[in-house]
Amino acid sequence: MATEKPATAKKAVRKAAPARKAAPAKRAAPAEPVANAIEVSGLRKSFKGGVDAVNGVDLAVREGEVFGFLGPNGAGKTTTVRMLCTLLPITAGTARVAGIDVVRDPAAVRRKIGVALQEIGLDPIQTGREILELQCGLYGMSGTRAVARAKELLDLVGLADAADRRTKTYSGGMKRRLDLASALVHSPTVLFLDEPTTGLDPASRVTVWDEVRRINESGTTVFLTTQYLEEADQLCDRLAIIDRGVIVAEGTPEELKSAMGHDVVTITVAEAVLGTARAAVERLKGVQQVVEERNALALYVDNGAESIPELVRLLDRADVTANAISVARPTLDDVFLKATGRRLEGDDETGEEKSA
Ligand SMILES: Nc1ncnc2c1ncn2[C@@H]1O[C@H](COP(=O)(O)OP(=O)(O)OP(=O)(O)O)[C@@H](O)[C@H]1O
Ligand SMILES: [Mg+2]
């Protein structure tokens, strides 16, 4: 697991480096281990009927990180989150959240965490303010403290102006932000967000990202699941990619992309000649891997632009006509493709059809 890599340059630019960034140097000394906000080992969940939704997951999320859990529909993201939040019994393995074992002391874990689940359940008749004040009351705050805390949270998530409107008049993005505020009532150490921006338009998505960053900057560790590559790329310090209950890649976005080799050359050909094309292009010098898609080949090569003349020659010799050839820097989608043989984006409909 990539637990000892230094912070990325991107992250350093985005935030003033907090004290935790100096942590890796200390990790060698076993007497003084750096705290992990979440530690998961061999975590499994088998549902009745034989679905192994989570199939041996290991994770270490450091304090203060925004950690992304990226995967397609049905990958096991929500199941993992629900186990970590003590909402679902685990089948095997161990999990500690904020230093507490989720099986041994679920009540203590719950006091340390905030959760915004994938399905939002807001009372449509209540106003945003009423919902938050009620939530504060549930955490044992007195009337005046509850009023003050609700106001603070409404400001934090940018809902002060809409505070006294019923939530049925809120947009999807506003509902998400209110849900986020509800999860923050008791100032949790670790915040779990299950697909916080799914279904939001791009502008609302960016607003939610801003809230998440702000919350993280105040010291809260964030564990968020997402199906969006850009979200993982922009928001997360580190991420794990999960597919069919198994982690297939882990690291900072930069590490994952740079581990891909330098460039991705995509060659679009007719489906019928894919095999012939593959055999031809595999002869290219410097090709690290070739992944087949339905009507395209993705080649991981040292230098994409320089390889094109040779690729064209190889295809020509094999009598294959390329419909298009393009060169790009690797994205997290390429990381996913290389690890699983499938694309993550645009795969929503087919994500579950190929279960092994
Ligand atoms: N209560 C349940 N009983 C049986 N199977 C379940 C149950 N909950 C989830 N599953 C199955 O476990 C697998 C993982 O589901 P999960 O909800 O964790 O996926 P996910 O990554 O959150 O997907 P999505 O992006 O669609 O929310 C799926 O195959 C799902 O059908
Ligand atoms: Mg889910």
Q: What are the domain boundaries of the chain?
A: 9-122+170-255, 261-329
Pocket test for ligand 1, best of 52, 79, 243, 350 (most atoms within 8 A of CB): 79
pLDDT value for 303: 83
Cβ contacts of 323 within 8 Å, gap of 6 or more: 268, 269, 270, 295
Residues with CB under 6 A from ligand 1: 47, 49, 51, 53, 71, 73-79, 118, 227
- Chain centre distance of CA 214: 18
pLDDT for res 267: 95
Residue owning the nearest CA to atom 1 of ligand 1: 47
Going by alpha carbons, the residue nearest to atom 11 of ligand 1 is 53
Per-residue pLDDT tens digits for 287-338:
888 989 889 999 988 888 889 999 999 999 999 999 999 998 888 888 888 8
Q: What is the pLDDT of residue 76?
A: 96
Please give the pLDDT value at position 18: 38
Judge whether 98 and 37 are in contact, CB under 8 Å: yes
- Measured in Å, residue 58 CA sits from the centre of ligand 2 at 19
Residue type at 106? P
The ligand 1 atom nearest the CA atom of 198:
25
Ligand 1 centroid – CA 53 distance (Å): 6
Which ligand places an atom closest to the C-alpha of 89? 1
Residues 6+ apart with CB under 8 A from 227: 70, 71, 72, 73, 195, 198, 344, 348
Residue 325 to residues 26, 165, 271, Cα–Cα distance (Å): 47, 53, 15
Q: What span, in angstroms and rounded, lies between the C-alpha atoms of 287 and 130?
A: 60
**C-alpha of residue 84 to centroid of ligand 2, in Å:** 14
| Topology alike, domains 9-122+170-255 and 261-329 | no
Contact 265, 299 (CB under 8 A): yes
The topology under which CATH files domain 9-122+170-255 is Rossmann fold (3.40.50)
Taking the C-alpha atoms of residue 156 and residue 185, their distance in angstroms, rounded to an integer, is 11
Query: What pLDDT, on the 0 to 100 scale, is given for residue 247?
Result: 95
Closest atom of ligand 1 relative to the 71 alpha carbon: 21
Q: How far is the CA of 119 from the centre of ligand 2 (A)?
A: 9
What is the per-residue pLDDT for 326?
93
pLDDT at 34: 55
Question: Residue 59 has what pLDDT?
Answer: 95
Looking at CATH, the fold of the domain delimited by 261-329 is given as: Alpha-Beta Plaits (3.30.70)
Q: How many CA atoms lie within 13 A of 276 on its CB side?
A: 13
Ligand 1 atom 25, closest CA: 73
For the whole model, what pTM was predicted? Answer: 0.77
Name the residues around ion ligand 2, CB cutoff 5 A. Answer: 77-78, 118
Q: Whose CA is nearest to atom 5 of ligand 1?
A: 47
Question: Angle at Cα 190 formed by Cα 186 and Cα 196, nearest 5°?
Answer: 95
Identify the segments of the chain with pLDDT beneath 50: 1-32, 347-356
Q: State the DSSP H helix or E strand holding residue 143, giving kind and residue range, or none if neither.
A: helix 143-156
pLDDT attached to residue 33:
52
71 alpha carbon – ligand 2 mean position (Å): 9
